[in-house]
Amino acid sequence: MDPIGFDEHDHAACRHGNIAQVEDRCRAAGLQLTPVRRRVLEMLLEEHRALGAYEILDRLRAEGHGSQPPVAYRALDFLVKHGFAHKIEHLNAFIACTHPGTDHSAAFLICRVCASVAEALAEPAKGNLGRAAEEAGFLIERTVTEAQGICPNCQKAGAE
Amino acid sequence: MDPIGFDEHDHAACRHGNIAQVEDRCRAAGLQLTPVRRRVLEMLLEEHRALGAYEILDRLRAEGHGSQPPVAYRALDFLVKHGFAHKIEHLNAFIACTHPGTDHSAAFLICRVCASVAEALAEPAKGNLGRAAEEAGFLIERTVTEAQGICPNCQKAGAE
DNA sequence: TTTTCCTCGTTATAGTGTAACATGGCGGCT
DNA sequence: AGCCGCCATGTTACACTATAACGAGGAAAA
């Protein structure tokens, strides 16, 4: 619905707006957006691309934070758990949520050439899947959709 | 649409039918369903549950096949590449396709308690996601949907 | 027969993720 | 003030997942 990520846009505003929204949500929910967590979120927001946990970790280390995997994973877990970031399972990588204010099921468009990722709002459990789940008596709690393909920029860039 | 996996059913027939379909497809396409590949497919068919590559590997080893990871991964790659199996990204595990005869986009219902998995046919790229992709100029090649929740059996078994 | 392609097997290593334990800050309680 | 419980950070060590690179053998094409 609003696939940011393949278009030029005011990225500084995009980042700051996102951080502000997350701050609000944290205040409202009594969550601590600590320095490490905040930095990780900022890193994710710096590019509309999924970052691996160890890529995050390298940057944390360079900034004088902890240098061991759990440091990165814990911050990422926090962000994912509260809906401020998403894990792209297909890439084993993480990306900032583009609408952290809302409760939503996520769907992603993943470019297999440049690895950029766009998030679209998806209605959860509609269509065949929802019907199949209902028939089977399966209780859906969370749905993730990942579409792989080629983004407009890479289509222009090269054939194939 | 046809969520096998949570119901009792004639599992022996289910397996043999599947194997037969895969054999046909291989013959038609000039693919080699070698002993290793065939055994791996059979292992996946033995349970309606996703198996990890190393779980597969252990069984191959026990049967006298190669005991190193590439042996399992290559067989799994073959099966996935030709649509005879799917990878469940959320579990880093693999499952036999329940309708190997057809070209399809897959959607899965994954029980977070017992890890059983049911496959449903999903219309690819419909709804919001397809619209978002079209608007953005993104070319979708493959879509995977993974829904997590609780299967009917585990709902009955325990509350929570 | 020789070449080519594919499959299987190996060794070694890279990449991803967690368990378990110690420290230190901060708020509430006595 | 001093104690306590909670939570976040940090550590070491390890488990799990996946791939690169090389070699042997077999079957089909040249």
The DSSP code for B5 is T
For residue A11, the model assigns a pLDDT of 83
Structure tokens belonging to residue A12: 């500084």
Distance CA A16, CA A105 (A): 23
Q: Which of A126, A131, A151 sits opposite B138 (nearest CB)?
A: A151
CB-contacted nucleotides of strand D (7 Å): 7-14, 16-21
Structure tokens belonging to residue A77: 């877990």
Give every CB contact of residue B76 below 8 A, 6+ residues apart in sequence: B40, B53, B56, B85, B87, B94
For residue A6, the model assigns a pLDDT of 73
CA distance B89 to chain A (A): 6
Residue % of chain B over a pLDDT of 90:
70
The answer on pLDDT for B105 being more than 90 is no
For residue A24, the model assigns a pLDDT of 94
Please say whether the beta carbons of B99 and B106 come within 8 A: no
Distance CA A98, CA B136 (A): 16
For residue A1, the model assigns a pLDDT of 44
Please say whether the beta carbons of B149 and B107 come within 8 A: no
Summarised one tens digit per residue, pLDDT across range A62-94 is: 999 999 999 999 999 999 999 999 999 999 999
Is the Cβ pair A138, B118 closer than 8 Å?
yes
Confidence class of residue A158 from pLDDT cuts 50, 70 and 90?
Answer: confident
The answer on pLDDT for B31 being more than 90 is yes
Distance CA B55, CA B69 (A): 10
Q: Which nucleotide is nearest to A91 (CA to C1')?
A: C16
Structure tokens belonging to residue A94: 């993480």
How many CB atoms sit inside 10 A of residue B89's CB?
A: 18
3-state per-residue secondary structure call for chain A: CCCCCCCCCCHHHHHHHHHHHHHHHHHHHCCCCCHHHHHHHHHHHHCCECECHHHHHHHHHHCCCCCCHHHHHHHHHHHHHCCCEEEEHHHCEEEECCCCCCCCEEEEEEECCCCEEEEEEECCCCHHHHHHHHHHCCEEEEEEEEEEEECHHHHHHCCC
Confidence class of residue B109 from pLDDT cuts 50, 70 and 90?
Answer: very high
Is the Cβ pair A145, B150 closer than 8 Å?
no
Q: Which of B3, B122, B146 sits opposite A135 (nearest CB)?
A: B3
**Residue of chain A whose alpha carbon sits nearest to that of B126:** A127
Q: Which of B132, B144, B149 sits opposite A120 (nearest CB)?
A: B132
For residue B1, the model assigns a pLDDT of 44
Summarised one tens digit per residue, pLDDT across range B43-77 is: 999 988 999 999 999 999 999 999 999 999 999 99
> Coil, strand or helix: which one is B97?
coil
Is the Cβ pair A138, B6 closer than 8 Å?
yes
Is the Cβ pair A127, B125 closer than 8 Å?
no
pTM of structure = 0.91
Interface A:B, Cβ pairs < 8 A:
156
The verdict on A4 touching B (C-beta cutoff 8 Å) is no
Average pLDDT over residues B88-110: 90
Summarised one tens digit per residue, pLDDT across range A89-132 is: 999 999 999 988 777 788 999 999 888 999 988 765 567 788 88
Provide the β-strand partners of residue B143: A147
